[in-house]
Amino acid sequence: MLNCKEAIEKRRSIRKFSVEPVDTEALEQVIEAARLAPSGTNRQPWRLVLLTTPEERQKIADTVIQPFVCEAPAVFVCCLDREAFVRLSVEKRMDELVEAEVISREAAQYIYQRKMPEKTEEVIIPDSGYLDLGIAIQNMALMATALGLGSCWVRLFDQQRLHKALSLPSNIVPVVLLPVGYPAQAPPPRPRLKRDEIVIKI
């Protein structure tokens, strides 16, 4: 198992996978990496659909642009749950944090006074929700690398068609696909900006 630094340095977007299936234990560790991610007000809005059989992957085959996605032995459909942003859900998560002595009752009250959607249908997913999901997905990608697996973030897919193809409930919004499998390629590091191009001097 690679350490954190090694996994960050070794991770690449993998677009060619071996046909070797990924064992359930490894996939469970990838799921666990998502589960442990931090999120705003601890709302944990990520939901995952795991497609592992050829039949399951075939269901989404014509919703993706790049065929490699469904050639991976496992594909995670990484979704947001609108339900996680309604008042009742947020208050539940805040109560847990008060109970765990993470935040004070006063701080929780301050959040309760915020304007929040009361019903799932009223939810417009905030930017911070996408940050939450992004953290969870990158945890998954790094855990996959640490376990010797490859993965690739994929946004190039038809969201509406995929939603329909998997008969997802209306509160579930598919955002990113993460195909996972043993790499059948070992690409060199991709181009990156230099240190001084990303650190702004003030």
Which residues lie near ligand FMN (CB under 6 A)? 12-13, 15, 66, 152-156, 190
Q: Which is nearer to ligand FMN, 12 or 47 (CB)?
A: 12
CB of 68 to ligand FMN, least distance (A): 8
CB of 184 to ligand FMN, least distance (A): 15
Residue 6 CB partners (closer than 8 Å, separation 6+) = 146
Q: Which is nearer to ligand FMN, 136 or 152 (CB)?
A: 152
CB of 12 to ligand FMN, least distance (A): 4
Torsion, CA 91, CA 48, CA 133, CA 17, rounded to 10 = 170
CB of 156 to ligand FMN, least distance (A): 3
Q: Which is nearer to ligand FMN, 117 or 130 (CB)?
A: 130
d(CA 76, CA 48): 6
d(CA 73, CA 80): 23
Amino acid (one-letter) located at 114: R
Q: Which is nearer to ligand FMN, 126 or 169 (CB)?
A: 126
CB of 170 to ligand FMN, least distance (A): 24
Q: Which is nearer to ligand FMN, 90 or 141 (CB)?
A: 141
CB 34 within 8 A of CB 176: no
Helix axes 24-35, 127-146, angle to 10 degrees: 140
